[in-house]
A and B are shown apart, each in its own frame.
Chain A
Amino acid sequence: MPILETKDLGIQFGGLKAVDGLYIKIEKGQLYGLIGPNGAGKTTVFNLLTGVYQPTSGSFYFDGEQISNSSPVSINKKGIARTFQNIRLFGDMSVIDNVKVGFHNSYKYSMLEGVLRVGRYRKQEKEYHDKAMELLKVFGMENEAKLLASNLPYGKQRKLEIARAMATNPKLLLLDEPAAGMNPNETAELMETIRFVRDNFDMTILLIEHDMKLVSGICEEVTVLNFGTVLAQGKTETVLNDPKVITAYIGEDD
């Protein structure tokens, strides 16, 4: 059973079909790429899958369960977490607190226990503090734990977004242009980290990316979107060499 399956998924804003008739099947443990030129509707697909937008047609299934039309909160609780293309960190909070926000639904103590500092509070705060530090270590940010998130350099902000999303303990991680604004060295390092995360945290990853090196380097399968519809789909090497895809990206020969 695929972990994520969309059936004829689409959304229409007024007369504009931003996404139309999308069929994607992602198997558990896969690294799946979603690519396409600017304005193709990639981020809109993410917004549909995380409940930010409600689809106007079709539906999608997560782990066999139909969850289209759910709220962002309940979709996250089901096990889908995401990062954002335009970084959306909690800027006035420390780096480690950003990760702890991701753990929010894992904490089991009540508000009263938190206020009175009794019961499960101390044990769980310690437990998730250590877990948060572990996650930060994966991204090489353990020394920045106390900094304000908004004071981090750009590349690290992107990494913190991934760490925060992972803290919600998802089965499926949606990464929206994780390498945007990174130099080639940072991108290579990020590729390693993404692979490491997939292998060690038992996660399925769907990512949007413009960096073809990264896509061809780590994605096993890709879907190419153009003007909201699927242009090509399948094994990464096959798709990236497809003349239709090349045309969509660099224009037609005269």
Chain B
Amino acid sequence: MSKKIKSRNLDKYITYSFLILIFVISQLLVMTGVASNKFEGLLVPISVYVLLAVSLNLVVGFSGELSLGHAGFMCVGAYAGSLFSLLMQNVITVWWLRFPMAIIIGGLVAAVAGFLIGIPVLRLRGDYLAIVTLAFGEIIKNLFNNMYLAIDKNGVFFSMNASAYTKHAFDAATKQDLIKGAQGITGTPNDSNFVICFIVIMICVIALLNLIDSKTGRSIKAARDNRIAAEAMGIDVTKAKMTAFVIASFIAGMAGVLYSHNLRTLVASKFDYNLSILVLVFVVLGGMKNMRNVIIATIILYALPEALRALNDYRMLLYAIVLIVMMLLNNNDKFAAFKKKLSIKALIARFNTKGGVK
């Protein structure tokens, strides 16, 4: 009876230790100077993608809805967090106080966006939901791409029109550009670093795994497996799907803040359809449903093109081949059985039985 709980917890602890191990190794490599500057520079982006992938996994893997607009929520979070940091830069000068606040604010604003978009979107199912989320992702990107926000002593200037911005008579001495259309936000303090990214990832993964293994998580999975039966069991399917959607948006928003505070210039055109698809590829090739595998897939698939940069044109070819091989292997029963034998869980089980024989 308690065995089930134990094996579930074991799986969680393997995931946690795996994350900590990767963190410690990367930190050691950086601190001892073994790692190149390029490697160091990749740590924050990889962490951001890990966060995006685990959050999208909640929607795609556990809630069973194909969302193609994940980059949009990241975009909302990135802008909200950057704006907060820009405005508060001189008010809260302690970065380790300001940055966590920016992360939470970015997450909250993205969650609100997720909720508002979720209201119409979650009425749809399957392909329709995918199409509409894709559209919303693009809408968000284009909104920010055309947004002008500045302050001077006369007050706040906001416009969605470039010519209105150029024609506006600003007080030059006190003018501060916040969002400058397609040029985006410049001057966001570079608060992001690998340690904070790791802390956010740990908190999110622990929270997500706990959520999945609670009544809320079960209602989300039930709504995925059979909508009609879930309703007949008294589960509010829309609420379950909305919960997953909003939580995923919240995490994507936080990832956006981590991302934007790692850049000199934040532009909305980064958060396009390709980014959403890239994250979806990580989730799907990670096998969905399993957080640890999704994290592994993200790290490998993000690092691979970078590692292969020396091969120039051939690297995208190799990337494609890796994708195809992973897809084939994921659907191969023999490989799945082989993988099971090699898994840490199986090793622990083998170790346990050996101990029992003694």
Chain A residues near B (Cβ < 8 Å):
50, 52, 71-73, 76-77, 81-82, 84, 88-94, 96-97, 100-105, 107, 109, 111, 114-117, 121, 125, 129-130, 133, 145-146, 164-165, 167-168
Contacts and interface: CB of A to CB of B under 8 A. Distances in A.
A117 B207 CA distance: 9
Contacts of A116: 210
Given A88-B228, A89-B226, A111-B243, A104 B211 contact: no
A185 to B, nearest CB: 28
A179 B201 CA distance: 49
A147 to B, nearest CB: 11
Contact of B214 (A88, A89, A121, A168): A121
A148 B207 CA distance: 24
B91 to A, nearest CB: 30
Interface string B207-226: 10011001111110110111
Nearest to B237: A73
11 contacts: A73-B231, A88-B226, A88-B229, A89-B226, A94-B4, A97-B218, A101-B233, A104-B234, A109-B215, A114-B214, A168-B234
A101 B228 contact: no
Contact of A146 (B4, B207, B215): B4
A207 B219 CA distance: 27
Contacts, number: 101
Interface in B48-86: none
B233 A89 contact: no
A125 to B, nearest CB: 8
A108 B87 CA distance: 42
Contact of B219 (A77, A96, A104): A104
A102 B233 contact: yes
A101 B211 contact: no
Contacts of B232: 50, 52, 72, 76, 81-82, 84, 88, 165
Nearest to A74: B234
Contacts of B233: 76, 81, 101-102, 104, 164-165, 167-168
B62 to A, nearest CB: 10
A76 B230 CA distance: 10
B235 interface: yes
Contact of A93 (B211, B221, B236): B221
B25 interface: no
Contacts of B229: 84, 88-90
Given A73-B231, A81-B232, A90-B226, A96 B4 contact: yes
B1 interface: yes
B29 to A, nearest CB: 33
Contacts of A72: 228, 231-232
Given A92-B224, A111-B216, A130-B1, 6 more contacts: A73-B236, A77-B234, A81-B233, A90-B222, A114-B214, A116-B210
Nearest to B217: A114
B284 to A, nearest CB: 16
A74 B172 CA distance: 61
A131 to B, nearest CB: 12
A21 to B, nearest CB: 26
Contacts of B222: 90, 93, 101, 104
Contact of A90 (B215, B221, B236): B221
Contacts of A77: 234
A159 to B, nearest CB: 15
Given A88-B228, A104-B218, A129-B1, A115 B235 contact: no
Contact of B211 (A90, A115, A168): A115
Nearest to B64: A92
A101 B216 contact: no
A217 B76 CA distance: 64
Contacts of A93: 218, 221-222, 225
- Considering the complex of A and B, which 7 residue pairs feature the smallest CB-CB distances, nearest first? A114-B214, A76-B234, A90-B225, A88-B229, A72-B231, A107-B215, A101-B222
Nearest to B218: A101
B260 to A, nearest CB: 26
A114 B216 contact: yes
Nearest to A110: B216
A176 to B, nearest CB: 11
Indicate the member of B207, B224, B229, B235 with the most A CB atoms within 10 Å: B229
B162 to A, nearest CB: 44
Nearest to A107: B215
A81 to B, nearest CB: 7
